[in-house]
Chains A and B, each alone.
Chain A
Amino acid sequence: MTEAYSFAYLDESTKRMIRRTLLKALAVPGYQVPFASREMPMPYGWGTGGVQVTAACLVPEDVLKVIDQGADDTTNAVSIRRFFQRTAGVAVTEHTTEASLIQTRHRIPEAPLKEGQILIYQVPIPEPLRFLEPRESETRKMHALEEYGLMHVKLYEDIARHGAIATSYGYPVKVEGRYVMDPSPIPKFDNPKLSGNPAIQLFGAGRESRIHALPPYTRVVNLDFEDHPFEPTKADAACDLCGATTSYLDEVIMDDAGGRMFCCSDTDFCATRRAAGHAGRLAPGGEAA
């Protein structure tokens, strides 16, 4: 740890301000609480909201995992992980089960979370009503008065245009029968994991200066129509590396001839399965070669 930094980079009064915001957000699940977002040593869009929430939550005993679209090894994930290694000196891991605090960009890990874990989402636009109502003053009023008809206008438009609800990420949800919330751009495949989750889920939007949260075991319902119910979707394939059929898959283009493969977006989940002997179609030495 470099002594020149405060623990986890942010000064103590900023962390206190963010913690107060977090308590309020947890007390009113799904409600967007404004906070005094700070300039961070990284550009907006790199998870400045998530980083501030992580900084406010970290304690020296924490074990930190950072993922970007499920992967521990992308630039964004590696940079943020190193940032906290350097400024907080906390232990880091790539294993979901070992982490006490996970910062994520646009995924919920495949391995079930447990009580005591904290999942921190990076959020670009926290306002689910923004798509159809540009006025902040008006969207706040709509939340206050539970005027959520507009959300269904968006879903209606999806069905009218595509024959089904085509919204495939950032799928809107209603929290504890009260606030409509944008779960950040996670694939709707992950939406069922939002509800009744034993872990604490915190959402930080740095540029928009908003934090919202789901306390453990919060009831989260996906908005839909009676005759077009919500359906979590994934690519209809198995992971070509570990053979998993139940995980969310990334499609990878292999060459100019249309060759492609599917692999788990959650790199830890995939690696753990391969270590346990599972193999997919393209795995080195795989049974299906």
Chain B
Amino acid sequence: MSALLQVEGLEKRYGARIGCTGVSFDLFPGEVLGIVGESGSGKSTLLACLAGHLAADSGQILYRGRDLGAMAEPERRVLARTEWAFVHQNPRDGLRMGVSAGANVGERLMAVGARHYGAIRAAAEDWLGRVEIDPGRIDDRPRAFSGGMQQRLQIARNLVTAPRLVLMDEPTGGLDVSVQARLLDLLRALVREMGLGVIIVTHDLAVARLLADRLMVMKDGRVIEAGLTDQVLDDPQAAYTQLLVSSVLQV
């Protein structure tokens, strides 16, 4: 098995201010890497660089051995709608609110050339079922859905083309606890079934513990500590991580 993503010495600055710096890691298929830290720690900047939403100032990102920095935009955009998925914290940022749930799920299929309405609809129904949305609501617009359903719809819309790499920005933020649990369970099953490589940014250590195999702790744009999730949470080495872990209720 070879690495899905290899990141080396990544840096992003906003003028004199550091977005993130010196970030290096790799990700294999079937792995979930959690990135934790407080707001402003650089985790979202890092995710945006990985997704190609922001251009890094230095360092290298290899996707399946190919340098993203050297890749032409058309090719990156093709990857972005086939092999990559990005799940936004706010589902409204990742959904088309003006079209039905079915069209939201079908969009990526149509973008890669699906031209059979019946087949697209069948795939959409299948995916709605997989994320536990009643397929009978396929023609409803996302506006009519609850926050948790919208988030699951966003996930279905992203995974319908069977991507390899999934980037998630606080996917369970803003959801109530029972809805979070359903989503975590769903994500774990999908990671296992589809062999997804997932990077999940979260400030919720409980979510990180249940979902991530490995953890990276960030502060002020730098990686403070990285390792096995339960080891980082149960035996944190860095002062900052100890503070972070001790500041939350029992996870």
Residue of A nearest to B96 (CB): A132
Whether A227 contacts B116 in the complex (CB less than 8 A), given A149-B108, A153-B110, comes out as yes
A227 to B118 CA separation, bound complex (whole angstroms): 7
| CB-defined contacts of A226 to chain B, threshold 8 Å | 115-117
| A156→B111 contact, CB < 8 A | no
| B117→A147 contact, CB < 8 A | no
Chain B contacts with A in 79-125, Cβ cutoff 8 A: 81, 96, 98-100, 102-103, 106-108, 110-112, 114-118, 120-121
| B110→A156 contact, CB < 8 A | yes
Q: Does B138 contact A (CB under 8 A)?
A: yes
Write the B131-146 contact mask toward A (1 if CB under 8 angstroms, else 0): 0000000110000000
| A157→B99 contact, CB < 8 A | yes
Which of B96, B102, B103, B114 has the most chain A CB within a 10 Å cutoff? B103
Which of A152, A153, A224 has the most chain B CB within a 10 Å cutoff? A153
- Distance from A229 Cβ to chain B, minimum over Cβ atoms (Å): 10
Whether A160 contacts B108 in the complex (CB less than 8 A), given A145-B77, A152-B115, A227-B116, comes out as no
Whether A228 contacts B110 in the complex (CB less than 8 A), given A132-B96, A132-B98, A153-B99, comes out as no
- Distance from A77 Cβ to chain B, minimum over Cβ atoms (Å): 35
Q: Does B74 contact A (CB under 8 A)?
A: yes
| CB-defined contacts of B120 to chain A, threshold 8 Å | 156
- Distance from B198 Cβ to chain A, minimum over Cβ atoms (Å): 24
A149 to B106 CA separation, bound complex (whole angstroms): 10
A228 to B103 CA separation, bound complex (whole angstroms): 16
Residue of B nearest to A133 (CB): B96
A145 to B117 CA separation, bound complex (whole angstroms): 24
A132 to B74 CA separation, bound complex (whole angstroms): 20
- Distance from A235 Cβ to chain B, minimum over Cβ atoms (Å): 26
- Distance from A160 Cβ to chain B, minimum over Cβ atoms (Å): 5
**Among B73, B111, B112, B116, contact of A225 (Cβ-Cβ < 8 Å):** B116
| CB-defined contacts of B98 to chain A, threshold 8 Å | 132
Whether A225 contacts B108 in the complex (CB less than 8 A), given A132-B96, A145-B77, A157-B99, comes out as no
Q: Does A237 contact B (CB under 8 A)?
A: no
| CB-defined contacts of B114 to chain A, threshold 8 Å | 152
| CB-defined contacts of A159 to chain B, threshold 8 Å | 117
Q: Does A150 contact B (CB under 8 A)?
A: yes
Whether A147 contacts B111 in the complex (CB less than 8 A), given A159-B117, A160-B138, A227-B117, comes out as yes
Whether A153 contacts B139 in the complex (CB less than 8 A), given A145-B77, A147-B77, comes out as no
A42 to B110 CA separation, bound complex (whole angstroms): 42
Q: Does A161 contact B (CB under 8 A)?
A: yes
A226 to B113 CA separation, bound complex (whole angstroms): 12
| B110→A149 contact, CB < 8 A | yes
Whether A160 contacts B115 in the complex (CB less than 8 A), given A132-B98, A149-B110, A152-B110, comes out as no
Write the A146-185 contact mask toward B (1 if CB under 8 angstroms, else 0): 0101101100110111000000000000000000000000
| A156→B106 contact, CB < 8 A | yes
Whether A160 contacts B96 in the complex (CB less than 8 A), given A147-B77, A225-B116, comes out as no
- Distance from A227 Cβ to chain B, minimum over Cβ atoms (Å): 5
| CB-defined contacts of B112 to chain A, threshold 8 Å | 149
- Distance from B15 Cβ to chain A, minimum over Cβ atoms (Å): 24
| CB-defined contacts of B115 to chain A, threshold 8 Å | 152, 224-226
Residue of B nearest to A152 (CB): B110
A247 to B106 CA separation, bound complex (whole angstroms): 37
A147 to B139 CA separation, bound complex (whole angstroms): 24
| B102→A145 contact, CB < 8 A | no
Whether A225 contacts B117 in the complex (CB less than 8 A), given A145-B77, A153-B107, A161-B139, comes out as yes
| B100→A160 contact, CB < 8 A | yes
Which of A145, A149, A161, A224 has the most chain B CB within a 10 Å cutoff? A149
Whether A160 contacts B139 in the complex (CB less than 8 A), given A132-B98, A153-B99, A225-B117, comes out as yes
| B100→A157 contact, CB < 8 A | yes
Which of B99, B108, B112 has the most chain A CB within a 10 Å cutoff? B99
- Distance from A223 Cβ to chain B, minimum over Cβ atoms (Å): 9
Write the B193-225 contact mask toward A (1 if CB under 8 angstroms, else 0): 000000000000000000000000000000000
| B116→A156 contact, CB < 8 A | no
Given contacts A152-B115, A160-B121, 4 further A-B contacts (CB under 8 A): A149-B110, A153-B106, A153-B110, A160-B102
- Offer 14 A-B interface pairs, CB within 8 angstroms, sorted by A: A147-B77, A147-B81, A147-B111, A150-B110, A152-B110, A152-B115, A153-B99, A153-B103, A153-B106, A153-B110, A157-B100, A161-B100, A161-B139, A226-B115
Interface residues of A (CB under 8 A from B): 132, 145, 147, 149-150, 152-153, 156-157, 159-161, 224-228
Of all A-B residue pairs in the complex, the 6 with the closest CB atoms, nearest first, are A149-B111, A152-B110, A225-B117, A149-B110, A226-B116, A145-B74
